[in-house]
Amino acid sequence: MSSTWDEPFSGRDRCEASGVTPDGADWLASAGTYPRSTLALWHERPDAPVVLPCGSVFDVISAPAVFGRRMLDRLWDEGPGSGPVAALRGRMLLFAAPGTAQRLPSLLEWEEWGAHGRRDSRTEAIPPLLCHGTGDAVTVPPLTPAATGTSTSATRWLAAPDTRHPWLPGPEILLWAAVRAARTAVRISIFPPADQDAKVYDVSRRR
């Protein structure tokens, strides 16, 4: 992860990041009330997750893990890329530009009803997205990956911040990714592989 995020990026080489760089840690800590205390804690315990407020430095959009992965696929394969991304307890946290948490729900609502005021099911397959902005806080994964099998092993960076000024997607970009991901989910459900979720029942036991 040598290039900066001042420009949008694409490509899967950003995925499965090993850890946060010092510049990335500075950026994360700047979101808190006491950045120096946060950095001091990380200096002593780089494997410790911390809780940071949203709204000033970043917002966070939380999606179910599978749907979040589909959003990332769309962002990386067809769009401008993503900002930092973390996995936390079965959900995917997409770090976004401040203000995104306030604007995205209304954009999703507008997209659902369409320009002519009628429901058109364009966002039917989008699960509820948790939008964390001003007044909210999120748990940020450790700077370095936790050892496998520990209580924090499910909390990790997928695309770790590596600059003091990472590029962050706004509400319009995340709306686009969510709609594209929903269309992908619909196609998968309509045309599943022949053996997907196949179940075999022993009907010989029926009486």
Copy the structure tokens of residue 36: 């120096």
| pTM (predicted TM-score) | 0.78
Task: Lowest mean pLDDT of 18-32, 45-59, 144-158, name the range.
Answer: 144-158
pLDDT digits (tens, 9 = 90+) for 51-82: 999 999 999 999 999 999 999 999 999 999 99
Contact 96, 56 (CB under 8 A): no
